Structure 1
Amino acid sequence: MALSTAFTTLFGVRHPIALAPMGGSAGGALTAAVSRGGGLGLLGAGNGDRDWMARELPIVAQGTEKPWGVGFQSWAIDGDAIERALEYGPRAVMLSFGDPSPFTERIRQAGAALILQVTDLEEARQAVDLGADVIVAQGTESGGHGARRGRSTLPFVPIVVDLAAPVPVLAAGGIADGRGVAAALALGAAGALIGTRFQATAETLLAPSIAAAIVAGRGQDTERSSILDIARGSRWPAKYPARTLGHPYLDHWRGREAELAADPDARQAYQDGVARGDLPPLPVWAGEAVDLITDLPPAADLVATLARQAEDALARAGRH
């Protein structure tokens, strides 16, 4: 049986599964593959880099006739990035991290669905007030950037579901197999937005070494911190530290973030270490459910597997 929800009905997709628009990994090929597999692929356009978008948008637009969308970081873009994406006719635009209000009306005018990711109740109330078509409730188990003082997925999702009703909500954070999708539906969500699991697929933009690190990773080794953003000279707002696998700089600077931020020599040492190959070229963004990832399947096959696992999990729960 197919799992029909308000999310699948809204977008005309087969499965209540969406690809998290992860910058650096969710490129055109991965986005198109998720959509072809029956989910909603969301391109990880991040900060709206012009060259990256010019390369990846045509790949997804030509790679599937199914619905797909684009995701941006609200704090890092301007209206020009939105305009470039809308030229390709995405079915949805997702905004995360920061104030989305400067961009929502233009997205609506273009006829694209507005998806807003929230990490706390203040952001959730704003998303409702802005008329989001879908709200993503991100728990702290998620890989990559998220709220410093957020809540875990299990308690956060039903609160947002109740607050946002009847707007469909997607659960995000700590979901890496179909049992997690089933749990999201049981919490009242209309589906799941999944990130780390889709980084470990055949179509990911990640380097093979990073994908392999995710397959070998353990949830207990993940940590949410701003240290690597500071070391890399990233402009990410301090409100949103990032969950990654272990890294030498985390061990060396843990609890000394202010000192690192004030030490240009230490930040230069990070860049030098990357250039020499002594440090990984990028942090390995990974959520707490990384233990469940053991292979690198084609993304379309993974969508079908997740849906089948979710159906089986719900059927088992119904028999108890």
Structure 2
Amino acid sequence: MALTTAFTKSLGVRHPIVLAPMGGSAGGALAAAVSEGGGLGMVAGGRSGREWLGRELELAAGLTDRPWGIGFLSWEVDLDTVAWALEHRPAAVLLSFGDPTPFADRIRDAGARLMVQVTTLDEARQALDAGADFVVAQGGEAGGHGGLRATLPFVPAVADLAAPTPVLAAGGIADGRGLAAVLALGAAGAVMGTRFQVSQEALVAPELVKRLLAAGSEDTERNRVLDIARGAPWPAHYTARTLRNAVIDRWRGREEELRHDATAQQTYREAAQGGDLDIVPIWAGEALDLITETCSATDLVTEIAERAEHALASAGRS
């Protein structure tokens, strides 16, 4: 049974699986590997600058002739950067965390599909008003920044609101069972981050991969502490799910105190400059319990799709 959806037909991909454009992890090699596997690989536009991004976009384009895309933070990116990135001819652009309206026409005029990630129903309405081709309903189980809605009830609510615009699900999805579940909820596919963060092509240090593989869902926590400590200008209503650490434990519930403690912030930043994994953010979602090994992202896409097909075919059987 092939998993053919409105998403796979529109993008011309084999499987309804999208790589989340994770900052620090999703470079050109990982995006290409996911696309080669039949999904849609995404390069993280993020906050790395044009030199890094240009190199990674060229790498993705050089490693695959299949569709791939770019992800940007709507609150941070400017129109000139989006226009420049579109010259690399991505098949899709995913905008997250902010108003997509200023960029929507430019993206569609370039022939790319507009994907907008949302964390509330109001954001979903804004995405539809902007003309999104796909709405990504992100649940709070996701690693990194996001909102508080749980994936299971949020996805069908967005699907009902957005119809006939296809919806993709994100947050806590790491295997074929998760993909099958969100398809049953009315999604046209799934966006996965943490599962691909430990794949062989991800831009992740081996020691960080070890920590992710050794951790579980209960080791993660949504927090603002680390953004405040490192001076990250993220909008305050988007918390970040990371592995818990001593810095979070110390400042949990004292975020406003930390915000006004310049000495504590400076001490943290000096300590974090060396990339100490005991204090820097390690983005991770609640699906960690399901992630026990690393492998090629290309093989992983195929495995997830096959297991989703099996899960859907066998659902309801005793």
Report the TM range for the smaller structure's normalisation: over 0.9
Return the match for 1:260 from 258, 261, 271.
258
Return the match for 1:272 from 256, 262, 270.
270
State the distance in 2 between where 1:270 and 1:174 align.
30
State the distance in 1 between where 2:94 and 2:225 align.
27
State the distance in 1 between where 2:304 and 2:241 align.
23
The one-letter amino acid of 2:214's match is: A
Structure 1-normalised TM-score? 0.97
Partner SS, residue 156 of structure 1:
helix
Aligned to 1:191: 189
Q: Is the 8 A contact 2:179 2:308 kept in 1?
A: yes
| Percent of matched pairs sharing the same residue | 62
State the distance in 2 between where 1:275 and 1:125 align.
40
State the distance in 2 between where 1:48 and 1:184 align.
32
Aligned to 1:79: 79
Aligned to 2:115: 115
The one-letter amino acid of 1:69's match is: G
Aligned to 1:164: 162
CA displacement 1:3-24 (0-9 Å, x = unmatched): 1111110111110100011111
State the distance in 1 between where 2:294 and 2:280 align.
20
**Shift, 1:271, TM fit:** 1.7
Q: Is the 8 A contact 2:247 2:279 kept in 1?
A: no
The one-letter amino acid of 1:205's match is: L
The one-letter amino acid of 1:41's match is: G
Partner SS, residue 140 of structure 2:
coil
Q: How does 1:202-213 map to 2 (within 5 A)?
A: 202-213=200-211
Q: Is the 8 A contact 1:42 1:69 kept in 2?
A: yes
Aligned to 2:95: 95
Q: How does 1:112-261 map to 2 (within 5 A)?
A: 112-147=112-147, 150-261=148-259
Structure 1 unpaired stretches of 5+: none
The one-letter amino acid of 2:185's match is: L
Structure 1 277/126 Cα, relative in aligned 2: closer, same or farther at 3 Å? Answer: closer
Aligned to 1:300: 298
Partner SS, residue 289 of structure 1:
helix
Q: Is the 8 A contact 2:208 2:277 kept in 1?
A: no
CA displacement 1:249-307 (0-9 Å, x = unmatched): 10000000000010111011112222466554731100111111111100000000100
Return the match for 2:285 from 284, 287, 308.
287
Q: How does 1:305-316 map to 2 (within 5 A)?
A: 305-316=303-314
CA displacement 1:16-36 (0-9 Å, x = unmatched): 100011111000000000000
**Shift, 1:208, TM fit:** 1.2
Q: Is the 8 A contact 1:37 1:304 kept in 2?
A: yes
CA displacement 1:23-76 (0-9 Å, x = unmatched): 110000000000000000111111362122122111001110000100000001
The one-letter amino acid of 2:163's match is: A
Structure 2 unpaired stretches of 5+: none
Aligned to 2:9: 9
Structure 1 220/2 Cα, relative in aligned 2: closer, same or farther at 3 Å? Answer: same
State the distance in 2 between where 1:42 and 1:126 align.
23
Partner SS, residue 283 of structure 2:
coil
